[in-house]
Structure formats: C-alpha cells, structure tokens
Structure 1
Amino acid sequence: MPVHHGAQRPSATRVTLLTEGTYPHSHGGVSVWCDQLVGGMPDIGFDVIAVTGTGREALAWDVPGHVSRVVSAPMWGPPPEGRPPTGPALDRLTDAYEQFVTSLLDPCAEDLFGPALYAMARAAADGALSPFLRGDRAISVLTAVWNRPGLAVREARPTLHDALTATTLLEHALRPLATPPPEEGVAHAVSGGVAVLPGLAALERHGVPLLLTEHGVYLRERYLGYRTAPYRWPVKAVVLGFFRLLAEETYRRAALITPGNRYNRLWEEQGGADPESIRTVYNGVDPAAFPPAGPEPDEPTLSWAGRVDPIKDLETLIRAFSLVRAQVPAARLRLFGGTPRGGEAYRERCEALAAELGHADAVTFEGRVDDIKDAYAAGNVVMLSSISEGFPFTLIEAMSCGRATVSTDVGGVREAVGDTGLVVPPRDPAAMAAAALELLGAPGRRRSMGEAARLRVIEQFTLRQTVDTFRAIYLELSELGAMAPRVPSWARVPAWAKRAPVPRTAPVAPVALASAGGTADERPRSLAG
C-alpha cells in the first residue's frame, strides 16, 4: 500500500484521519473540510489512512509538513499481500466468518457481528483474511448460512452466482482491515463505512479513541445506491446488512460522534449511539475568503457547483430549469464542477436530458473552476438539488458570497439556510422551478436574502469556530486515550467463543466456483432512506 511521508514533527497530540475517496486524493466538500482542519492546526501532528480505489491515485492536495504519513488503503486492484490460513488458524477464521455472515442475515444473531469482525481483523493483520475470502471455503460458509431454514433470504433462492458476488463485495469492503491501524493518539473517521475499519481495529487492539464525523449519512447513501444496483436481493441483503451493522458498531464504540447537522443525529441515535456521545459541529468557511460576489450576471442565470454525481440529482435540476425557461426564455443554467472517474456516463445522461428537453444551448457543463467563488458569482441564484447532503460547503460558501439560494430539504440544509434562502422538497422539479422563478423575478428580495445569508455565516458558520472546536476535541480524546488500559485484542476472549456454536445445515467444504442461475424475487427488504 503506497505511503507518502512528510516531515516528522513531534506533537503532544497525534491524529490519524480516516478517509474514503476524499482527502487527499480528490477534491470535493469533505476534502475541503479535511484540508481546512489540517491546515488550521499546524501545532498537531496528523497521519492519514485513505481508503482509495486502486492505490495508484495521485495526491490532489498539497499536504502540509505536519502530516507525517499518507497511507493508501486500496479497495480494488491487486489484493493485499498474504497467504490463506491453514490448520487451526483456518478453522478459527472459518468459525469467525460463519458468525459474521450469520449476523448479517439473522436478526437474532446481530450481537455476533462485533466479536466476529475483530477476529477477522486479527486475521487481516496476519495477511490471511483476503486470501480466505477469495477461496472456496468462504463461498461454502455463505451458501450454508443463507440456506438455513427460517432465514428470510432463503425464500429468494440464492444462487451460487449470488454467493460469489456477495463474497467478492465483502472481500473488497473488508480490505482496509489489512492496513496497520494507528497505535496512539486519536483516530478520526471523517465518514462512516469502510473508512472506520482501521479505527475500530485501533480501538480494539490499542485502545485508541475513535472520533466519528459524518457529513452525509453513509448508511442512508448506501441504501439509496443499492436500490438501483444490479444485484439480486440475496446479495443486497448481505452487503446492506454489513453496512448497517458496521454503522451500529461504530456508533456504539465511538468515543465521540460529531455530525455536521442535527439531521444526522437522528440516524446515529437510531443506530444505537448514546445521545451523550453526540455533539453537532457545523462546517465553517472563512468569510474573508468568500467575500460578497459583486454584480449579478446580465442574463438571468442559475448556477450550481459540486461534483457531477447521481447523488447531486442534476436531472431534477435540469428538468426544473426547463420549466424556468418556459417562463424566462433568456435564462441559463451553468454547472460548475468536475466529473469523478466512473461518472462520465451520468454526465452524458444529463447532457442528453438537456438536449432532449430542447435546452442544450442554455445548459453548460463548465468543469472544475480555478476559483469556486466564480461559480457563485456566475448566477443570480445558486441552486442545490441533492438527494443527500450533510452540511454542504457549496451552500454556506454561496451564502458567504451573498447569493440567494434554492436548495433541497436534505441533511442540514435547513439548519444552514434558516430564512435566508428557499428550501424545496428533493426530486420535485416543479417546486424547484417555482422557487427559482420567485427569486429571479424579485431582485430586491434576492439582494436582501443574500445580505442576510452572509451575516448568518459570519455569526454561526465560520472556519475559526470549527477548527477551535475540533482542536479542543482532539485534546480531550487524547487525554482519554492516555488513561485507557492497553489490552491487546488477542488477550480477549471473543463473545461468540463463549456461546454454543450455531449448527450448520450443511458441512463447510470446498465448492466448485461455477456460476448458477436463478429466477427468485429480487425485491429487497424495506430500506430506510
């Protein structure tokens, strides 16, 4: 796994940021937040464990000198180095994996998840987990478990192909466990999900306190994504069961959870977090770096900024713009932001939709802009059309620039905007168009809303407030970690080992890795979101 070394710098407090697909390998809101946090604390030593795609990604940010190491934990590409276990080690890992899979599929066995996960983490540290999950025995375990009488997934008649698919997805999702976890300081996961895995291992093995910051709700976004994923229900049941139980384990074991808005808190409490362990910390911007944007464009223009991604729901925005242009023929829609690798098809779909609606000449994809302030200044009104958000940077940056906004009612949007912008339901082109037309037709109201929005940022959402809050949290958790006893994980007896084993309905034996068909009902269980 690639490791980038910076200057070594002693510090009383050391923080390991745990990221996924963001800092320091890509741009975007969470990456901006990480860069602000690191840059605002030159007195604190940082490391980064970054879950990436292939591990070959270049750094997108200039990492400051007080970041000692950036370790890439790739989920795809070549698997982690290691050998499959043999003898008693293989039997122990097989038992742990059986408990793990059972917890994902049997609501009565969910308490097996944590102990089994940590047993698998020990195997991953020895280089044995990934080879095991790529072997026949792991497939046999899953097929035996989900064919037990009484399990709902059995009614969908899972196939061998389903078992291969689900096991492959789990193997990739669990790869971050092979990354050496931090042994001191604070582990700060800046999202839920697989980025947390090294932090949970650090807590279990070395007593390192885990801090979780959720910008969006990771579990909710997995539910949204898997609704349209090309997998049958048995596969979705396994993978979404993993993400749900991982979220619950994280919420229970984190020393502190700092959601970026109060909306996230509802998910975290529902997932088992102690309300006393949750503190809302809003994102902040530097008002001096985002001054008033100045004169509006001559033509009536809606602007948008962000990454071109389905979760941003640009299709609804384009449909809303079509309704706006029916009333204001001179209107334009300018979209600023890059397209992540793999997202080209979505951008092409959006461009095709604009052409289909007859607005290819008025809808422009501008790509990444050197100065994001130019994106906000480009519009009379700044739009946000997402179906999921945390506390969006683009929104508070636009507010700091004194622009009126129309945003979807997701995540912490209402908390950010207050009464200084218009908020509409997600996936509702008519409501979005009506709000945009309302503001385009009222220049005085746009101006007064923009002024109020900037004042709101200055009073409540400054970068200085955010950085100072997290510095205090790091110091608090460092003291907690220093007092924690260091009990090595291998000295603990896993809870599942104290229970009678769950009887298997079929022996665990190697199976031929061949695909098998099936026509079972593919409808997933009810998914929140």
Structure 2
Amino acid sequence: MYVPYDARRPSSGVRVTLLTEGTYPHSHGGVSVWCDQLVQGMPEIDFDVIAVTGTGREPLVWELPTHVSRVLSVPMWGDPPAGREPRWSARAQLGDAYEEFLTALLDPRAEARFPQALYVLARAAAGRTLSPFLRGDKAIAILTSVWNRPGLAVREAAPSLHDALTATSLLEHALRPLAVPLPRTGVTHAVSGGLATLPGLAALDQHGVPLLLTEHGVYLRERYLGYRIAPYRWPVKAVLLGFFRLLAQESYRRAALITPGNRYNRVWEEQGGAAPESIRTVYNGVDPTAFPPAGPEPQGFTLSWAGRVDPIKDLETLIRAFALVRAQLPYARLRLFGGTPRGGEAYRERCGALAAALGHADAVTFEGRVDDIRDAYAAGNVVMLSSISEGFPFTLIEAMSCGRATVSTDVGGVREAVGDTGFVVPPRDPASMAAAALELLGDPERRRAMGEAARLRVIDRFTLRHTIDTFRAIYRELPTLQRESERIPVLAEPRVAVAG
C-alpha cells in the first residue's frame, strides 16, 4: 500500500515528518510551494514526508533535496492495506470500539467517546486488522444498528442499506492513513487539518511524538462546502461530516502548537476546542527579490488570475464579473493562468461554457500552467482573486510583491494580506468585483500607487526569511511545548493488533 521514495542520506539535526494530503510532493499549488520553501530553507533539519494521495501512482513533481530521507505515499483509492480481520475476542473488541466511534459521530450526547474509540481503531490499523474489518459485513451491520436507534436525527432520513455500504466504504478509505508506519521520534507537522493529522495523532498517542498543526485554509469549512454538492444522501453526509468535525476538534485539542496562516483561522480553531495559548499565527512569505516589480502594464485593459482551476477558486464568479466589466470596456480581456487538476476537467469545461454563454469566449483565455508565474502577474493591469475559501494565498502576496494592484474576495487571511493596498470584495458577488476592477482600470495613477504600497507591505511583513526562521525555532522548541498529559486510555491492550 505504501509507496516509498528512494531513501536519501539524511543530514544531522532535528527530524520532522511532514504530513500532507493531496499536495507536496506530488502536486503543485500554494501549500506545496509552502512545503518546498520549508524543506529547502532548512538543510540542517532531517525531513520525512507521509503524503496522502489518490492512487499511489502520482509522480513526484518537486525535486527533493538530500535531507529528505523518505516519502511514504498513502493511496486513498489504491489497493487496500494488507492484513486480515481479527478473530474471536479481538474482533469483538474492535467491533465495540467501532460502535463507540459511530455513536460519537451521530449522537451529540456521545461525542466525548470519539478520542478513545479513534485510538483503538488506530492500534487496529497498526496491526493490519482495521481495513479488513471495515470491508466486512460486521461493520455494515454495526452502522445500520447505530443510526437506526430511537432518538437520533439521522434515523428520520430512513438510512438505506446502500447508504450504509457507501458510508462504511468512505470511512474505510478515510481511515487508511492510520495504517502507515508511524514516526517514533522527532516532530510531526501536519500541513493541513483532516486526514493528514491521523498519523500525527496516532504517533502522539502511541509514541509521544509532538504534533504541530498548520492550517492554510480551514479544512472543516471546506468539507462543509464540498459536501453541500456531494452526491450522497443525508445519512452518509451525517457520518462523514461528523467524522471530520470530531477529528478537527481532536487535532486542535491535542496539537502541541497550532500555527494558522492567518488570524481568521484562529476563530475556527478556538471554537473547535483549541486552547488560545496553543495558537501562534505564522504568515506565508515570499522572497521579494524573486518577485521584483513586474514592469510596464500590458496595452489595453487586462485582468489576470493565477491558480489551479478548481471550484473553490470560483472562476464562475470571476467570469460573470468580467462580463460586467466588458459591458463598460468592450476590449477588455481576462487571462486565466493555471493547471486543471486531475478530476477537475468538468469544472474547466463548465467555466469555458459560461464564458461562451455570456458572449465572451473570445476574450476569456485559459492559458494553462506558465513556466514563470511572474508572467501571469505581469499579464494584467489588475490581478484578481475570486476564491470562496483561502488561507493566506501565495498568488496574492506574490502579485503584491510584483507591484500589481489586486481585487480579492474577503475570505480567510486575504484582508490581512492586502490591508489598504488593494480592493477586497465579498465572495460570490460579481457586481462588487466588477465595480472594483472597473475603478482600478479607470485610474492608472491609483493602480500604480496601490501596487507600490503592496510591494512595500510584503517587504515589511511577509518575507520568506521570517517564515523560515519562525518554523526553524518552532521545530527546535516543540518537544518542550508538548503538554505533559497522560495518553487517552484505551479499552484494553490492543489485542486487535494481531490477526489470528
């Protein structure tokens, strides 16, 4: 199941295991850039990576330095982990723990049982019995029994056998990261919430390895947004969203330190149970010398955008806003730079169809990945960001470093990044976005002044050197920050770890 990268000679120093999901080192994007910055910026620290991936066949797209010792790929949709169902009393114990786990997901009165049950499942995963158990009939029967109990809200939705099969399968896939070989020393650093935290929580519980959690976007919020349009009935959504919510709470509660990329995330983390003293904001940074002033603006009126083509970037709102801009400026253009991730082709086609339906297919161009991202920022008089969810977006502070005026949606840490050096508008509001873009396009002097102020703001607050130095210090001090507390008791010694 686990796909190791060729081992490289580690350097001396602290050992950090990065925990990623769908990003570094198998994918491009802002979080991957951030991971690469950390790794490249600290050659004296030994790094490993546990990467939650799709199939396990994803190639490495980042060149790894020699102090990255290994990469373990955890395929969510590849072959299941090897192992056998436990037998006799071990099977009964695992069944009891799974029933407690599901009850916590579905019954608000039982949520306190979640941590204990999760760590029993984690030990079963280490013993290679969890995944086979979840693929068996008993797991289906347990879920069917739990969500049909009198008094549970999910019962009113009349869960079907198909719902039970679907929910159990999704949970089996979601829990696969628990079966990865766990680090026993050093520090684990989850670079997002959610599934990436599972090996870190298990390593903390079983070996006392401190967990550092960095959230760029809010993982739980993005799951809520995504499941609004997911093709599942409510009983399935109730199970999965219950899991993500309680997993977020447990991650916030047990992380030795939480380093959100903006202050907006802190609200979610504190409401999710994080102690305020365990939260320390660390902004993303760029190297201003790598993103110098972009130079002369393009001829004509051009809006540019850079990122991955994904629903969370809400290009449909941007295209609708551009249609309003073009009603006032008929020769305006919208240039979209960035790749379409695997599985996102339908969304890319939908955006292209929208531009055509609005009569602007000739002026909206999808230009794919660009060799030098600075060219994407230089291509526009104004750089746009239309996302419905962000952390502290690299594309925004890179464009600011390049001296371009920006129009961005008020999500995540965008307002913290921009300050008064650009326009910030409500998300999913084409009219407001168009009005801001038109105001800047019509005032070259204001664009210039905002662009200059934006670059100075980056130099003053958001440099890569500061980010790297902060995390270097955190890695060295984190073992001393680990709260001294007894591990959560389990129901019994993990006999479930032995397949009979």
TM-score normalised by the shorter chain: which range applies? over 0.9
Q: Provide the rounded CA distance (Å) in 2 between the counterparts of 1:424 and 1:35.
A: 31
1:333-348 alignment, distance < 5 Å: 333-348=334-349
User: Where does residue 52 of structure 1 map in the other structure?
Assistant: 53
Aligned to 1:523: none
Partner of 2:368: 367
Q: Write out per-residue CA displacement over residues 117-137 of structure 1, whole angstroms, 9 at most, x where no aligned residue.
A: 000000101111111111100
Q: SS state of the match for residue 18, structure 2?
A: strand
Paired residue for 1:12? 13
Deviation, structure 1 residue 250: 0.2
- Measure, in 2, the Cα distance between the counterparts of 1:8 and 1:89: 40
Aligned to 2:497: none
User: How much does 1:11 deviate?
Assistant: 2.5
Unaligned runs of 5+ residues in structure 1 are 499-529
Contact 1:148 1:154 in 2 (8 A): yes
Q: Distance in 1 between matches of 2:359 and 2:66?
A: 51
> 3-state DSSP class of the match of 1:351?
helix
Q: Which SS does the other structure have where 1:77 is aligned?
A: coil
SS in 2 for 1:47: strand
Instruction: Report what 2:236 is aligned to.
Output: 235
Distance in 1 between residues matched to 2:351 and 2:296, nearest whole Å:
29
Offset at 1:6? Answer: 3.7
1:177-188 matches, within 5 Å, as 177-188=178-189
- Compute the displacement of 1:484 (Å): 6.6
Q: What is the TM-score normalised by the length of structure 2?
A: 0.97
Deviation per residue, 1:163-218 (Å, 9 max, x gap): 01111110110000010111110000000000000000000011000000000000
Displacement of 1:10 in angstroms is 4.2
1-structure distance, mates of 2:70, 2:235: 40
Is structure 2 residue 301 aligned with structure 1 residue 294?
no
- Residue 356 (structure 1) shift: 0.4
Question: How does the TM-score come out when normalised to structure 1?
Answer: 0.92
In the other structure, the counterpart of 1:165 is: 166
Which residue of structure 2 aligns with residue 72 of structure 1?
73
Taking the aligned partners of 2:5 and 2:481, their CA distance within structure 1 comes to: 29
Distance in structure 2 (CA, Å) of the matches to 1:454 and 1:343: 33
Q: Is the 8 A contact 2:11 2:43 kept in 1?
A: no
Contact residue 188 and residue 211 of structure 1 kept, 8 A: yes
CA spacing shift, 1:204–1:284, aligned 2, 3 Å: same
After superposition, the C-alpha distances for 1:493-516 in whole angstroms (9 at most, x for unaligned) are 42x679xxxxxxxxxxxxxxxxxx
- Match status 1:175 vs 2:176: yes
How far apart in 2 are the matches of 1:239 and 1:479?
A: 35
- Residue 101 of structure 1 is matched in structure 2 by 102
Check whether the contact 2:397–2:458 (CA below 8 A) recurs between aligned residues.
yes
> How far apart, in 1, do the equivalents of 2:159 and 2:110 lie?
20
Match of 2:154 in 1: 153
Alignment of 1:344-493 (within 5 A): 344-480=345-481, 493=489
Partner residue, 1:87: 88
Contact 1:193/1:218 (8 A) holds in 2:
yes
What do the CA deviations read for 1:299-323 (whole angstroms, capped 9, x no partner)?
A: 2100000000000000000000000
On the 8 A contact 2:382/2:440 being kept in 1, the answer is yes
- What is the CA–CA distance in structure 2 between the aligned matches of 1:199 and 1:79, rounded to whole Å? 21
Gaps of 5+ in 2: 494-500
Cα distance between partner residues in 1 of 2:6 and 2:196? 20
Matches within 5 A, 1:294-333: 294-333=295-334
Structure-2 residue corresponding to 1:117? 118
What SS does the corresponding residue of 1:16 show, helix, strand or coil? strand
Contact 1:6 1:66 in 2 (8 A): no
Alpha-carbon distance between aligned partners in 1 of 2:481 and 2:431, rounded to the nearest angstrom: 51
Amino acid at match of 1:143: T
- How far apart, CA to CA, are the structure 2 residues paired with 1:273 and 1:224? 22
Rounded Cα–Cα distance in structure 1 between residues aligned with 2:88 and 2:11: 44
Please give the secondary structure, in 2, of the residue aligned with 1:172: helix
Amino acid at match of 2:85: P
* C-alpha distance in structure 2 between counterparts of 1:16 and 1:257, whole Å: 16
1:327-382 residue CA offsets vs partner (Å, 9 max, x unmatched):
00010000000000000000000000000000000000000000000000000000
CA RMSD of aligned residues (A): 1.4
Aligned partner of residue 15 in structure 1, secondary structure: strand
Report what 2:3 is aligned to: 2
| 8 Å Cα contact 1:247/1:271 also seen in 2 | yes
- Structure 2 equivalent of residue 253 of structure 1: 254
The answer to whether the 8 A contact 1:189-1:210 is kept is: yes
Deviation readout 1:408-437 (Å, 9 max, x if unpaired) = 000000000000000000000000000000
Indicate if the aligned counterparts of 1:207 and 1:484 stay in contact, CA closer than 8 A: no
* Structure 1 letter corresponding to 2:363: A
- Counting matched residue pairs gives 492
Secondary structure of the corresponding residue to residue 82 of structure 1? coil
Shift in Å at residue 480 of structure 1? Answer: 4.7
Please state how far the C-alpha of 1:8 moved relative to its aligned partner: 2.2
